[in-house]
Amino acid sequence: MPQALTFEKRNILVTGGAGFLGSHVCEALLRDGHHVICLDNFSTSDVRNIDSLLQNPNFRFIRLDVNQPFDLEQFSELAEFKLPFQGIQEIYHMACPTSIKKFDQFKIQTLLSNSIGNYYVLELAKKYRARILLASSSVVYGSRADKASSVTEDEQGTTDHLSPRGCYDEGKRFAETMFETYRQVHGLDIRIARIFRTYGPRMPLFDGQLIPDFILSALDGNDLVLNGGLNFRSALCYVTDVVDGLQRVMKAAEYPGPVNIGSDVDVLLKDVAQKVLEMTDSTSKMVEGENFAFLSELALPNINRAKELGWFPLVRLEDGLRRTIEYLKANKILLTSI
């Protein structure tokens, strides 16, 4: 087998790169000195997430929808990356609408992203023989079976494919099937990361995302709305830990199979809300909110496979909340302006 060419700077594609998690992935790759191509159509993301990256000579943003055919070699702004010669070495496939309050609005796009969008991106990976990572989700395991147990990657889980959120839950299962089929048929070097609930700077505001809305409400003296109910539980992993996990999955010498990336520490969201109140010196109150289809109690991850890759969540909840609070304080006027 001919030896693969090596390049001083890798060309790395991040689909959904202007999203909450995708933008942090772009930042990390730029810090490592790579060329980063960011694709996004801003359906549930924001250009402000990548504002600080746009002047970086190693960063290129292309606004497009991965659910439509595209040829990156046709974009003149990518000429310096020499795609016809160098190609693309890695792809982080993050593109899929994620919105709690607007979930119904993006159901068809979600369905397409988990099928047609995957096809176009997998075909691109096949063309360039790129290693490709799928940002899958803990939703493939379905709702948690009991309060205490955690799930390993070998557990199949169950989802209601006809439920109001089936386009996302069953869609992610089908996305994994597509990636595995391309590995079996085309020998594609795939990676699958099952991401659990993540928080940190750049989470969308006013969308039912619990952590940023807690903080903003506390800063403004408004009630903290506990969507999902007073007894809603979840594991929370800080965004930089998740990005580190994704990079370790991508860099693994051999395909380890799907890998759970998330915190295995269960917390009550009302306890998190109380921490936010204390850390912001707020006198706001907690009130019970709505039960959204896209907001549900999910399984806890068993992270032993991730630990074998040298990964473990390092950021304590208190430290992650503090960083997120500082970010929202510093950017509050900009982020809440229309």
Q: Identify the pLDDT of residue 61.
A: 98
Q: What range defines the domain where residue 308 resides?
A: 11-199+236-262+293-314
Q: Which two tokens stand for residue 44?
A: 């549930």
Taking the C-alpha atoms of residue 82 and residue 268, their distance in angstroms, rounded to an integer, is 50
Strands (DSSP E) found in 189-327: 190-195, 198-199, 224-226, 233-235, 237-238, 259-261, 266-268, 286-288, 300-301
Q: How many CA atoms, within 13 angstroms, populate the side-chain half-sphere of residue 171?
A: 23
Taking the C-alpha atoms of residue 170 and residue 160, their distance in angstroms, rounded to an integer, is 8
Whether the per-residue pLDDT at 109 is higher than 70: the answer is: yes
Taking the C-alpha atoms of residue 54 and residue 127, their distance in angstroms, rounded to an integer, is 27
Helical pair 317-336 and 210-220, crossing angle rounded to 10 deg: 70
Which residues 6+ apart lie within 8 Å of 155 measured at CB?
Answer: 141
168 is a catalytic site residue: yes
Pick the catalytic residue from 92, 141, 168, 182: 168
Would 305 be classed as within a structural domain? yes
Whether the per-residue pLDDT at 283 is higher than 90: the answer is: yes
pTM of this prediction?
0.93
Q: pLDDT over 70 for what percent of the chain?
A: 94
The mean per-residue pLDDT over the stretch 292-310 comes to: 84
Strands 90-93 and 11-15: parallel
Would 147 be classed as within a structural domain? yes
Confidence of residue 4 (pLDDT cuts 50, 70, 90): low
Whether the per-residue pLDDT at 3 is higher than 80: the answer is: no
Total tally of structural domains belonging to the chain: 1
Would 327 be classed as within a structural domain? no
Would 282 be classed as within a structural domain? no
Q: Identify the pLDDT of residue 325.
A: 95
Assess contact for 23 and 56: CB atoms under 8 A. Answer: no
Mean pLDDT, the chain, whole residue set: 91
Would 94 be classed as within a structural domain? yes
- H helix count then E strand count, the chain: 10, 15
Confidence of residue 127 (pLDDT cuts 50, 70, 90): very high
Range name among 57-61, 63-67, 146-150 with the lowest pLDDT average: 146-150
The mean per-residue pLDDT over the stretch 279-288 comes to: 93
Would 321 be classed as within a structural domain? no
Q: How many CA atoms, within 13 angstroms, populate the side-chain half-sphere of residue 254?
A: 3
Whether the per-residue pLDDT at 293 is higher than 60: the answer is: no
Using only C-alpha atoms, the chain has a radius of gyration, in whole angstroms, of 20
Q: How far apart are the first and last CA of the chain?
A: 56
Taking the C-alpha atoms of residue 98 and residue 300, their distance in angstroms, rounded to an integer, is 20
SS3 of residue 170 by DSSP: helix
Would 268 be classed as within a structural domain? no
Q: Identify the pLDDT of residue 1.
A: 40
Would 91 be classed as within a structural domain? yes
Assign residue 115 the CATH number of its domain: 3.40.50.720
Angle at 203 between CA 198 and CA 209, to 5 degrees: 75
Whether the per-residue pLDDT at 113 is higher than 70: the answer is: yes
Confidence of residue 2 (pLDDT cuts 50, 70, 90): very low
Tens digit of each residue's pLDDT (9 = 90 or more) over 92-104: 999 999 888 788 8
Of the candidates 328, 237, 227, the residue with the CA atom closest to the CA atom of residue 270: 227
Q: Identify the pLDDT of residue 5.
A: 65
SS3 of residue 267 by DSSP: strand
Q: pLDDT over 90 for what percent of the chain?
A: 75
